[in-house]
Structure 1
Amino acid sequence: MPIIPDEKDWTWVLSRPCPECSFDASTATPATVPGSVENMLPRWRAVLRRPEVAERPDDRTWSALEYACHVRDVFTLFDQRLNLMLDDDSAQFENWDQDRTAVEKDYANADPAVVSAELTAEGTQIAESFAGVREAEWGRRGVRSNGSEFTVLTLAQYFLHDVVHHLHDVDG
């Protein structure tokens, strides 16, 4: 059964802590972003080893496997967006339909072991990319297709919330 798309604009997490997962974007700094990503990877791998990983808790909620596939793709997408921002100080981000991606990539039937390896590789890659950002680059700008503006720092904070929030969603 398809999931009802999440069409919320989550950029508000940049100005106040998330009441659901308790993530506070203001605590993420250039020095902490890479380690934050790396510290979440073992938790995601543990989630993917659960026997019930592919079971949806209800008809409206992704399974832990589907969330992990989404996070893997978030790692890839945000690495691309980060690199675009580093190459172009007025980067424009194309729209990404996460729900369509979930269907097209068949998240629900993915192999958890494969997803674990891919999530780890993509997570390691984006952590390395953020670690390579020079001090003068953290203020570079990019604009999402809906007009939301980011600096490299706010992109990192927004990105981290997504990964933390989904760990919360799966009790990871």
Structure 2
Amino acid sequence: MTDAPSPHRTAPAPPAADTKDWTWVLERPCPECGFVAADVAVDDIGPAVRDLVPRWRAALARPDVRDRPRPQTWSVLEYGAHVRDVNHVFAGRLAAMLDDDDPQFADWDQDAAALAGEYWSQDPARVADELATAALALADLFDAVPADALDRPGRRSNGSRFTVRTLGQYYLHDVVHHTHDVGA
């Protein structure tokens, strides 16, 4: 007798690819979540990220954590796995900016990562723990940024340029926005 496939192993319909260049949030408030990136000081990033961790833990403990609100909108679990991975990606980018002169960041396709990682099938408690660990590590990295490094540059392969300051503002919008997306 073979084991029946897990109901969580079947890939749901992929969301429409998000091809927007969200760097505009560095210049104006986000109309969806209300975040104002320009108001964020680098010293505020670590504490803000730490404040989000319990909200993600609570969201990932919901009984409907795997339910998608619409077929092509991620579930809380999928958003949580994405935010966990965002923390890892930005930790690497911040470290590169602090260690190298004007690094170009490796491309990261969030949609491909979601499919490859089967976000929908992951264990919510494990995602909550991994998200917390990654978020707290990145918060510590931002806390340790010296004042004379705030204007160090880095760039994406599409040409978008960041400083350590604007990378932090951009990152914080991303994780705050996704907290808004899941109502946490």
The one-letter code matched in structure 1 to 2:152 is R
From 56, 80, 92, the counterpart of 2:92: 80
Scaled by the length of structure 2, the TM-score of the pair is: 0.92
**Residue-pair matches, total:** 172
Q: Which residue of 2 aligns with 1:20?
A: 32
From 9, 23, 43, the counterpart of 1:11: 23
TM-superposed CA distance for 1:89, in Å, is 2.2
Give the whole-Å Cα distance in 2 for the aligned partners of 1:45 and 1:27: 26
Q: Percent identity?
A: 52
Question: Per the alignment, in what secondary structure is the counterpart of residue 43 of structure 2?
Answer: coil
The one-letter code matched in structure 2 to 1:71 is V
Give the whole-Å Cα distance in 1 for the aligned partners of 2:43 and 2:132: 20
Whose Rg is larger? 2
Q: Which residue of 1 aligns with 2:177?
A: 165
The answer as to 2:135 corresponding to 1:120 is no
Q: Which residue of 2 aligns with 1:133?
A: 145
> 1:75-97: per-residue Cα shift (whole Å, max 9, x none)?
00000000000011211101110
The one-letter code matched in structure 2 to 1:151 is T
From 38, 44, 49, the counterpart of 2:56: 44
Give the aligned CA root-mean-square deviation in angstroms: 0.6
Give the whole-Å Cα distance in 2 for the aligned partners of 1:128 and 1:8: 29
The answer as to 2:76 corresponding to 1:64 is yes
Q: Which residue of 1 aligns with 2:9?
A: none
TM-superposed CA distance for 1:4, in Å, is 1.2
TM-superposed CA distance for 1:3, in Å, is 1.4
Scaled by the length of structure 1, the TM-score of the pair is: 0.99
Q: Which residue of 1 aligns with 2:42?
A: 30
